[in-house]
Amino acid sequence: MKKIITTVVIIIAALGLIAFILTKNKAENEEKIAIVAEKNASVSVKVATVKTEEISLDFVANGNFEAKQEITLTAENSGKITNILVKEGDHVAAGQTLAIMRGDAINVNAQAAQAAYQNAKTDYSRFDNAYKTGGVTKQQLDQAKVMMTNAEANYKQAQIRIGDTRIKAPISGIINKKYIELGSMLTSMPSTNLFEIVNTSKLKLTVAVNESQVANLKTGSSIAVSSSVYPDQIFSGKITFIAAKADATLNFPVDIEISNNTNNDLKAGMYGTATFKSTQQKRTMTVVPRNAFVGSVSSNQVFVVENGKAKLKKVNAGKILGDMVEIVGGLSDGETVVTTGQINLQDGSAVEIIK
C-alpha cells in the first residue's frame, strides 16, 4: 500500500513539474514573439547625414570610342576578282588600289561605245556642213547633235566602268575586314561586300551628361580623355556636338573628337573617360547622396528620420554632382536622410537604422 501511495505522489510531482516547465516556456515564447512583432513593425533602413562642405564641380563621363571614319566598300560592277593587293591590318591611303577585277566584257563595251561616239561625231559634222548649204533641215541637224551627245555620255560611262575594275580605297585607314578571296565573283545587285576600312587617326567618344552639367558646356571646348587600357596617357579631345534634346533617360548626348597618338593606340570599341573641368573649381554647398531621393532626383522628396520615425519632406534639389546632389532648400545640416529602404516607407513609419 505504501508503495502505491509513493508511486502516486511521484507521478503527481512529475506532472506538476512538467506543467511548470510548459508554462514557463509559453511565457518566454510569448515574450520573444512580442519582441519580434515590435521589431517587425519597424522598417530597417540605412541613413546619411546632411552636411555642408566644399564640393568640386569637375565631373567625369564614360563611353566607348568609335572610329571617326568607317566604311564598308561594296562592288559597283559584276565580275571576277583577279588580284587582291592588300590584307587585313594593312594601312591604306585614299585612292589606293585594293583589288583588280577582270574587265574583258567591260573593255569590249568601252571600245564599242568609243566607236559609236566617233561615228556620231562624224555624222554630226557631215550634217552640220550639209545644213550650211541647205542639204538638211535644222531638225535633222538637231537630231544628229542629240545622237552625238548620247554617244559621248555612253562612252564616258564606259570609261568609268573601266576604272571601276580597279577597286580603290575611298578613305585612308586600316583594312579591318576582307570579305573576298582571289577568284571571287562580284555582283552589283545585290552588291557584294569587299572590304571594311576603319580610320582611327581620329575617334569619337559619345558620353551622356545631365541637365545641370550640360548647361556649362560649349562646342569647341577642350576635354581631357583617358582610357583604362592606357591609364598613364591623356588624349586631347574637343566637344563637337551637344544634343539640343535630352534622351529617354533625361540625359544629353555629347560628342567628343579625340586625336589618336602616332601609333593609333586607341581602338574603336575601347572604354573611355572624359574629364570635364569647371571654371569654378570648388563651391560650398549642402549635399545629400543621390539615392536619398524617393524615386528620382526630379521627385524632390526625401525621407528624414525624426524620433525613430520616417518623415517625408519636400526639398529643392540643385546640381547633380556624381553620387551627390546639391540641396538648395528644405533640409538643414545634421538632419538624417534615408538612403536605403524608402520603398517600404510611408510618412510616419517606424524605422530601425542599420549601421
Give the pTM: 0.57
Higher pLDDT, 10 or 274: 274
Determine which of 15-19, 147-151, 266-270, 271-275 has the lowest per-residue pLDDT on average: 15-19
pLDDT value for 323: 81
pLDDT value for 206: 95
The C-alpha R_g of the chain, in whole angstroms, comes to: 41
**E strand or H helix at 54, and its extent?**
strand 51-56
Q: What proportion of the chain, given as a percentage, has pLDDT over 70? A: 83
How much is the average pLDDT of 107-135?
Answer: 79
Phi-psi region of 186 (alpha: psi -120 to 50; beta: other; left: phi over 0): beta
Under a CB-based contact definition with an 8 Å cutoff, are residues 270 and 235 in contact? no
| Tens-digit pLDDT profile for residues 291-349 | 999 988 888 999 999 999 999 999 998 887 778 888 999 999 999 999 999 989 999 99
When the pLDDT of each residue in the chain is averaged and rounded to a whole number, the result is 84
| Tens-digit pLDDT profile for residues 220-238 | 999 999 998 998 899 999 9
The torsion angles phi and psi of 137, rounded to 5 degrees, stand at: -85, 165
Q: What proportion of the chain, given as a percentage, has pLDDT over 90? A: 46
Under a CB-based contact definition with an 8 Å cutoff, are residues 250 and 191 in contact? no
pLDDT band at residue 47 using 50, 70 and 90 as cut-offs: very high
The torsion angles phi and psi of 311, rounded to 5 degrees, stand at: -125, 125
pLDDT value for 94: 94
| Tens-digit pLDDT profile for residues 11-35 | 665 566 565 565 666 555 555 444 4
pLDDT value for 38: 46
Q: Please report, in angstroms and rounded to a whole number, the separation of the first and last CA atoms in the chain.
A: 69
Looking at the predicted structure, is the pLDDT value of residue 102 above 90? no
Residue 4, Cα to own-chain centre: how many angstroms?
92
Higher pLDDT, 194 or 157: 194
Q: What's the CA gap between 130 and 277, in Å, rounded?
A: 80
Which grid coordinates belong to 94?
585614299
Buried b (16+ CB within 10 A) or exposed e, 179-206: ebeeebebeeeeebebbbbbbbbebbbb
Looking at the predicted structure, is the pLDDT value of residue 36 above 50? no
Higher pLDDT, 106 or 268: 268
Other Cβ atoms within 10 Å of 97 Cβ, number: 13
pLDDT value for 268: 93
How much is the average pLDDT of 178-190?
Answer: 89
pLDDT value for 306: 93
Angle, CA 176 vertex, CA 173 and CA 179 arms, to 5°: 120
Domains of the chain plus CATH, in order, are 44-55+283-353 (2.40.420.20), 60-67+198-276 (2.40.30.170), 103-164 (1.10.287.470)
| Tens-digit pLDDT profile for residues 196-220 | 999 999 999 999 998 878 888 999 9
Looking at the predicted structure, is the pLDDT value of residue 67 above 50? yes
Q: What's the CA gap between 180 and 84, in Å, rounded?
A: 9
Under a CB-based contact definition with an 8 Å cutoff, are residues 328 and 288 in contact? no
Determine which of 102-106, 141-145, 163-167, 175-179 has the lowest per-residue pLDDT on average: 102-106
pLDDT value for 37: 43
How much is the average pLDDT of 281-298?
Answer: 86
| Tens-digit pLDDT profile for residues 235-253 | 999 999 999 999 988 889 9
Q: What's the CA gap between 225 and 254, in Å, rounded?
A: 13
